[in-house]
Structures are given as structure tokens and as C-alpha cells.
Amino acid sequence: MGARLRTVHYLEVADLACVRGGRAVFRDLSFRLARGDALIVGGPNGSGKTSLLRLLAGLLPPAAGTISISAEGTQIADREERAKFIGWLGHYDGAKPQLTPREALRFFARLYGTASDPSLLEVVGLSRSADLPCQYLSAGQKRRLALARLKLCGRPLWLLDEPLASLDASGKALLLNLLRDHLAGGGIAVIATHDPLDLDAARLPLT
């Protein structure tokens, strides 16, 4: 199975600008992340943290500047091409109230073309609610399910938007473990958060 990470050697952002609703959110943003690097993006509400992640994911077109990745020896600048390397953890978890965590994971495994791994439910501490429809899950449990999904999809470039939201202490530890694991395996991560995160990472404060 192709569950192994496809390698992204680096992510390079040059002179990036973002315009939302007629307002320039940020401009002239440049950085470069190589394998194993993490970047923590901070800043107050409305400073463009989410927009930056959406731009990196290719879910938004940049107003100016370029985003490119180097993967398997080739330079990729195309948005939809880049999307295939992204592991996404957004504000909303995409958990369908009618589906159980087990079903949700099986769905994402098939959708992303990776092997389904039910043991992941244990890793994120959901083994007891694995067969309960998601509508009965708490916000923190849904977040854990999203973490399992993120891990399962096996993408090399993680983009996490406020990943600590609604997680308890053990959930936060779990997230850190997953992140360190990911980085140690040669992955890259960009994390937007205004909570402190005990991770060896570069910082990018947006204003």
C-alpha cells in the first residue's frame, strides 16, 4: 500500500500576499521549510493565519507571490498538484453525525488511497467510541478522530489550523507526539495557533 509518505524536500514561499474582502491581510511573506521543519504561525484573530494555511494548501489563490514545493526531485508550483501532498486539519473536522469513527476512517483511507488502520483509533483514544455515531462524540473526541484521519492520510506536508482547540491535556500530548513523529519521519508542518506549543519550531508572528 502507498501509505508511506511521499517525500517533500522543501516548501518555499516567496513574496506571498493575501487579499480578503478587498483588504490586504498580509504581504511580502517569504519563508522556506525543509524536511523535518515546523513553523508555528501566531497572531491575533483576523491576522490571516487561516488564510495563510488555505493559500499553502491551494484552497485559495494568492493575490501575489508564489508557493512551490519540491517533491521527489521535481518542482511543483501548480495548486491542484500541490494539494496531493497536503495533510489538512481545519477548523471543522468534517465528521458526519451519522457515521461512526470507524466508518469515517475507512472512508478517508479509501478516499486518500491508503490502508485503513483501525489501531489508529486506539492511538487517539477512541477505541471505546469507535462504533458510536459521531453525533454522540464530544468536540474533543471529534478532534481526536481528525488527528487519526490526518495520520492515516499519510501526507508529508501538514497544515494544522488551531489544532489544540477543544483538546484536553492528554489530547494535547497526543498531538505533540504525532507532530514529533511526523517531523522525525521527514515531514513538514505549518501550525497556526495562538496557544503555546512545546515544539522545536520556527515562529512566524502575523500582525
What residue ranges bind another protein (CB under 8 A)? 19, 21-24, 57-61, 63, 80, 83-84, 86, 88, 90-96, 98-99, 103, 107-108, 110-113, 149, 155
For another protein, the closer of residues 29 and 149 by Cβ is 149
In this structure, the strands spanning 188-192 and 157-161 are parallel
Backbone angles phi, psi at 31, to 5 degrees: -160, 165
Q: How far is the CB of 163 from another protein (least distance, A)?
A: 14
Rounded to a whole number of angstroms, the minimum distance from the CB of residue 183 to another protein is: 20
Which of 29/55 has CB closer to another protein?
Answer: 55
Cα Rg of the chain (Å, integer): 17
Shortest separation between residue 11's beta carbon and another protein, angstroms: 15
Residue type for 67, please? Answer: I
Residue found under cell 488502520: 117
Task: Name the helix (H) or strand (E) containing 110.
Answer: helix 101-112
Residue listed under C-alpha cell 491542484: 80
Q: Which is nearer to another protein, 12 or 103 (CB)?
A: 103
Nearer to another protein, 115 or 173 (CB): 115
- As given in the structure block, the three cell numbers for residue 82 are 500541490
Cα–Cα distances in Å, from 44 out to 35, 88, 207?
Answer: 28, 21, 7
CB of 85 to another protein, least distance (A): 9
Instruction: Give the C-alpha separation, 88 to 155, whole Å.
Output: 9
Least CB distance to another protein at residue 5 (A) = 15
Name the residue nearer to another protein (CB basis): 7 or 116. 116
